[in-house]
Each structure stands twice: as structure tokens, then as C-alpha cells.
Amino acid sequence: MAREQLKTLTEPMYYVLLSLIKENHGYGIMQLINELTEGRVAVGAGTLYALLGRFEKEEIICQVAEENRRKIYKLTDKGKEILQEEMERLNKMVCDGEKFMAYDGERPSPPDNHTGNGISIPVTEESSDIQRQSGKERLSKEKDIGIGGFGKRTLIPT
């Protein structure tokens, strides 16, 4: 599992990692998740053990003991970092939601000089070079839009 795949976690992934802040075993993880979420999130044994295997392989968790055939795991530093990043991401989403719910202003109007033709994209020297090199459809008409241009153009294919 590449690090990129862990930019956002599924609910089961999140709660499995959360339940491994302190040492725990498979059945204990399932019980803790059920308790923490008041039954809202249920992680089945198949999902749990698949996640534990993947997390262990990626060194997100590690096995710290084995008692009566029960493997006991805990988060590694890498796992703590991933969990912390996910908690920050989720908190930002909640804050954004609260802002939107509290917003009572009107929707902003589009710029007066917008014609609705073409696609508005930022134009940089690099993107112009890529366009010339790619041999893609040539765009012959360009019209600056926005306040003072600010590097944005509406490109209209011919």
C-alpha cells in the first residue's frame, strides 16, 4: 500500500488505527470500535485482519506480543503521523462545513466580461511550452479576462 493511498482513510481504516493508539488485539479492536462509535461503524473480522496485515506490511502498526494465540498490535510512529494527518484533515472539513452552514451571504456574481465561451485556465510559460510540444489541437484565439489579466486567458479552439 503506497503512502499516497493513505492520504484519506476509510472509516474502518481510521477506527482501526485509532483503536491501536494503545496496544490491542483483533477482537479487542472490533469491540472498541463498536463501543467508540456506539455501533455506527462495524468492522468485520475479514476486513479487520486484511487491514492489520496491510498496516503491518507498511509498518504503520507493529506486533508487540502474542498471548493465547492473540496477536497484540500498536501504532508505530509512522502510523501515529498518518492518524494525526487524517484527524487534521477531518477537522478542517468540519470547520469548512460549519463556515458554509453559518454563511448567510449571497452567491457572488460572475465577472462582467465573462462571455461563457471557451475554458478558463491559468496560463504559465511552462504550460505554453508543453502545449507547443504536445502537438495537440492549436488554439488560435485568445482573450484576456479578469482584472488586469492576471495571467488567465479564455482559450477558444478554432
Q: Please give the distance of CA 125 from its chain centroid, rounded to a whole number.
A: 30
Length of the chain: 158
Q: 98 — phi, psi (to 5°)?
A: -65, -40
Predicted confidence at residue 117, as pLDDT, reads 53
Please say whether the beta carbons of 20 and 36 come within 8 A. no
Predicted confidence at residue 113, as pLDDT, reads 65
Please say whether the beta carbons of 25 and 65 come within 8 A. no
Predicted confidence at residue 136, as pLDDT, reads 39
Residue 105's pLDDT band (boundaries 50, 70, 90)? Answer: confident
Alpha carbon distance 38, 36 (integer Å)? 6
Q: For residue range 14-60, list pLDDT tens digits in order.
A: 999 999 999 999 999 999 999 999 999 999 999 999 999 999 999 99
Query: What's the whole-number mean pLDDT along residues 121-127?
Result: 52
The model's pTM is 0.64
Query: What's the whole-number mean pLDDT along residues 109-130?
Result: 56
Query: What's the whole-number mean pLDDT along residues 111-115?
Result: 64
Residue 142's pLDDT band (boundaries 50, 70, 90)? Answer: very low
Query: What's the whole-number mean pLDDT along residues 95-110?
Result: 84
